[in-house]
Chain A
Amino acid sequence: MSTQTEPAPIDSIEFVTFSAGNQIFCLEITQIREIRRWTPVTALPHTPPDILGVMNLRGAVIPIFDLSARFGLGATPSNERNVVIVAASASDTVGMLVESVSEILSIESDQIQETPDLKSDAARNYITGVIAHNETMIRVVDLGAVVGGDNA
């Protein structure tokens, strides 16, 4: 579903970086529909803590995940810089609560490294690779895994 797994020869890809659970992640910009300010959502019963609820996006009902919780990094603390990233995978549109959005990066596709082999780490299941950028490590989020990895 994402192009970064099969990059065209030395193509530059634009990523939006954000922080969740005090770690820096990024998503390919083409997957992002919009970024919204956090507004309270309608909670769903009997759902794990990483599903915050559902939101009305211009007549469509979309689920909102707490990305930090989903990555096993604890619930996102409430903060006025909190935003919801609305992203669309092949079939679904979802919202993801993150602590804050930072910047847009242009990355050559060969700069994306495979995720180093770590012992079990919840976050690793949701990451397709890492990018070294200005001495920080940016984790590339696998949107499909985030969307499809819920309890469905």
Chain B
Amino acid sequence: MSIRDTFFQECEDLLAALVDGLAELESSGQDSEIVNAVFRAVHSIKGGAGAFGLDDVVSFAHAFETVLDRVREGDLAVDGKLLRVFHKSSDQLTDLVEAARDETAIETTARDSVLKDLETYLGDQVEEEEFSFDALTLDVPPALEIPAEDSASRGVYEILFRPHAALFSNGHEPSLVFECLSQMGDLTVELQDISIPDFELLDDSGLQLAWRLELTTFDSETVLHDAFEFVEGLCDLEIRPLTRPTDPLPTIASEVPTPQPTPSSDKPQTKSEKEPKAPKATLRVDLDRVDRLINTVGELIINQAMIAQRIEELDLPGTSQVLNELEDYKLLARDIQEGVMAIRAQPVKPLFQRMSRIVREAGEATGKPAKLLTTGEGTEVDKTVIERLADPLTHMIRNAVDHGLEKTDTRIAAGKPEEGTIRLTAAHRSGNVILEVSDDGGGLNREKILQTALDKGLVAPDVELTEPEIDNLLFLPGFSTAKEVSNLSGRGVGMDVVRNAVAALGGRISITSDPGQGTTFTIVLPLTLAVMDGFVISVADQTMVVPISSIIETIHPIRRNIHTIGQNGRLLALRNRYVPIVDVAENLGLKSLNRLDDQIFLLVSSVSHGTCALAVDAIHDQRQVVVKSLKTSCGSITGISAATILGNGKIALILDTEEIARTGASASELAHEKLTQMEPALVDAN
């Protein structure tokens, strides 16, 4: 990996820290620690970008940093307006870094508009007095204010710099530091008048060298110190403001004045911001290596299952030590597997952070002010899941702002706050990851949805639909409620694409809506894509696996609890409810071996079709299985989500209960038709 790559990876972290800091600033108000953290992030990006000659990033980061510095110095108070500018600036900085990374052109108009916003905060009181004063409250005592005004805020510093030998041996280069300084203003460098020994005696460590620098700059002393950040402790350094009056301000287009702390009040500052919370040590690992490890661990689990089976076949006495060891082996294998999966697991936080930008942008584009509230950002999800969720989530968030929230006047009329709230939550629940996107808008307009579906011929006109069924029409391909195609959500992507993306991750999506209160989309995802817990069952002589997460309970039926409707429709009476029975063998086109009442029922819940009972021949075992996708090699197969390899080396198919419930309860089965004809109320109850 090149140093450049490393820099951009670090940038990602820094940008994340930046967004984090801004969010914290927003929630907990002005805290010098947080401001420092934000400043540090921007400053580090600037520093790194400078090293790679990324001028666009450097100049923007510099302006950003300068405003942040004013906040840090207490010259500026953070208010809502400034925060918005900060958010925009951080978005812009992200764009610039990305453009630099991908070597694409930058959007100068967007950048310039943000720069202009930033400039209003730069405290150029001479020129933009009226402009800046109504926007900010200055906490600066008047005594400090006046010199800043009339001396036009350029400071001159004298820097004495004498590197130690260690500075050179660590690979630092004074000229780079000087270059960095020279970017801040006018720099004069002179080698100190130190006697340089004869050539023969010359020590190549450069120990004898010392410099005196004079810098005229808008930047504060702290910023000067930062230039020496990397050589700190490796040199004698003295920075002091010169007391002579500063030059009158020449206007330099790109440079932006920062009010200078009056020279007289300044002692050389110690770097108070130098004690960040120690970050956790992390290791960057090539993803391929992790995946290879995960594959191998998958094999280990299969191998463990095989050994267990072989030992079982030996029929050893129950007291045998081997059985204990085997149990330990199983636990260890599981530990390793969990540990390895944890490497791939990442908090959803970066994903959520991206979404706050989406909300901001969508809010601006639609003229509906909106904020994003997130909870459960620490929830860890497989990296692949996070990556593949980004697009669907973006789409859902845009939708929530564009279609979910009402227009501002409607909101006010409904007694709601002007600013809409989009809520994004993540949580672990019983082996699944639950993501929710909700808005506090007007809820789904069911009449309109139904009408649109009818207009587009997506539903037959004579069909009576329940409210949840109408809501689910949103997921149909080719459905879009937006009357006019807005450039925001109308990008040819419908909710069906979202649903497919979620389904491809082994998850499900559902929708609930309260008129006047808002709409909630719930995504249920498996924790990991590679391994899952399942029941090993048999269906028509074939061994199969049912994901445990989908099973509510298992039932040994009693004959009198099975009721027939029509010719093939069968219902299971369960605590005063009737649940449709789906014969899995029949559903999969296999020959059922058993009479229905000899079978075992697995009660599963499906998102689209409520609860139903799957009839299978037997349940053998509960175990962890390694999921092997069939999609790439066999295409998608109705009713089967994937396959796994059992202890005996045989392949077992993993049932897609959602799909079986769907096909079993409607399309392919006569049963359902009969059911709906005879007892529509019963079906609805499910």
Q: Pick 24 A–B contacts, CB within 8 A, sort by A.
A: A42-B650, A42-B652, A43-B542, A44-B637, A44-B640, A44-B653, A45-B639, A46-B588, A46-B637, A47-B634, A51-B634, A56-B649, A56-B650, A60-B628, A63-B630, A63-B633, A92-B632, A92-B633, A93-B633, A150-B634, A150-B635, A152-B634, A152-B635, A152-B636
Q: Once the chains bind, are B651 and A61 in contact (CB under 8 Å)?
A: yes
| Contacts known (A54-B634, A59-B298, A60-B628); A45 close to B649, Cβ less than 8 A | no
Shortest Cβ distance from residue B215 to the other chain A in the assembled complex, whole angstroms: 59
> How many angstroms from the CA of A12 to the CA of B299 in the assembled complex?
40
> How many angstroms from the CA of A151 to the CA of B643 in the assembled complex?
18
Q: What residues of chain A lie closer than 8 Å to B636, measured between beta carbons? A: 152
Contact with A along B375-417 (1 / 0, CB 8 A): 0000000000000000000000000000000000000000000
> How many angstroms from the CA of A55 to the CA of B299 in the assembled complex?
16
Shortest Cβ distance from residue B321 to the other chain A in the assembled complex, whole angstroms: 29
Give the secondary structure class of B's interface: mixed
Q: Once the chains bind, are A61 and B645 in contact (CB under 8 Å)?
A: yes
Q: Once the chains bind, are A63 and B649 in contact (CB under 8 Å)?
A: no
Shortest Cβ distance from residue A150 to the other chain B in the assembled complex, whole angstroms: 6
Those 7 A-B pairs whose CB atoms lie nearest each other, nearest first: A152-B635, A45-B588, A42-B651, A61-B628, A63-B634, A63-B633, A61-B643
Q: What residues of chain A lie closer than 8 Å to B633, measured between beta carbons? A: 54, 61-63, 92-94
Q: What residues of chain A lie closer than 8 Å to B653, measured between beta carbons? A: 42, 44-45
> How many angstroms from the CA of A44 to the CA of B588 in the assembled complex?
9
> How many angstroms from the CA of A59 to the CA of B302 in the assembled complex?
8
Q: Once the chains bind, are B628 and A42 in contact (CB under 8 Å)?
A: no
| Contacts known (A45-B590, A59-B645); A54 close to B639, Cβ less than 8 A | no
Q: List chain A positions with a Cβ less than 8 A from chain B.
A: 41-47, 51, 54-56, 59-63, 91-94, 150-152
Q: What residues of chain A lie closer than 8 Å to B113, measured between beta carbons? A: none
Contact of A59 among B299, B542, B634 (CB under 8 A): B299
Shortest Cβ distance from residue B518 to the other chain A in the assembled complex, whole angstroms: 40
Q: Once the chains bind, are A55 and B590 in contact (CB under 8 Å)?
A: no
Contact with A along B291-322 (1 / 0, CB 8 A): 00000001100100000000000000000000
Which residue of chain B is the closest to A61 with respect to CB atoms?
Answer: B628
> How many angstroms from the CA of A92 to the CA of B630 in the assembled complex?
11
Contact with A along B518-544 (1 / 0, CB 8 A): 000000000000000000000000100
> How many angstroms from the CA of A91 to the CA of B629 in the assembled complex?
14
Q: What residues of chain A lie closer than 8 Å to B302, measured between beta carbons? A: 59
Q: List chain B positions with a Cβ less than 8 A from chain A.
A: 298-299, 302, 542, 588-590, 628, 630, 632-640, 643, 645, 649-653
Q: Once the chains bind, are B589 and A56 in contact (CB under 8 Å)?
A: no
Q: What residues of chain B lie closer than 8 Å to A151, measured between beta carbons? A: 635
Shortest Cβ distance from residue B169 to the other chain A in the assembled complex, whole angstroms: 51
> How many angstroms from the CA of A150 to the CA of B649 in the assembled complex?
26
Best-buried of A42, A43, A151 by chain B (most CB within 10 Å): A42
Q: Once the chains bind, are A46 and B638 in contact (CB under 8 Å)?
A: yes
Contact of A46 among B589, B643, B649, B650 (CB under 8 A): B589
Q: Once the chains bind, are A55 and B635 in contact (CB under 8 Å)?
A: no
Shortest Cβ distance from residue A149 to the other chain B in the assembled complex, whole angstroms: 11
Shortest Cβ distance from residue A15 to the other chain B in the assembled complex, whole angstroms: 24
Contact of A47 among B590, B628, B637, B649 (CB under 8 A): B637
Shortest Cβ distance from residue A104 to the other chain B in the assembled complex, whole angstroms: 27
Which residue of chain A is the closest to B634 with respect to CB atoms?
Answer: A63
Shortest Cβ distance from residue B409 to the other chain A in the assembled complex, whole angstroms: 51
Q: Once the chains bind, are B640 and A45 in contact (CB under 8 Å)?
A: yes
Shortest Cβ distance from residue A18 to the other chain B in the assembled complex, whole angstroms: 21
Q: What residues of chain B lie closer than 8 Å to A91, measured between beta carbons? A: 632
> How many angstroms from the CA of A61 to the CA of B639 in the assembled complex?
18
Q: What residues of chain B lie closer than 8 Å to A62, measured between beta carbons? A: 633
Shortest Cβ distance from residue B589 to the other chain A in the assembled complex, whole angstroms: 5
Which residue of chain A is the closest to B637 with respect to CB atoms?
Answer: A44
Best-buried of A51, A59, A61, A150 by chain B (most CB within 10 Å): A61
> How many angstroms from the CA of A45 to the CA of B588 in the assembled complex?
5
Shortest Cβ distance from residue A83 to the other chain B in the assembled complex, whole angstroms: 19
Which residue of chain B is the closest to A62 with respect to CB atoms?
Answer: B633
> How many angstroms from the CA of A61 to the CA of B630 in the assembled complex?
7
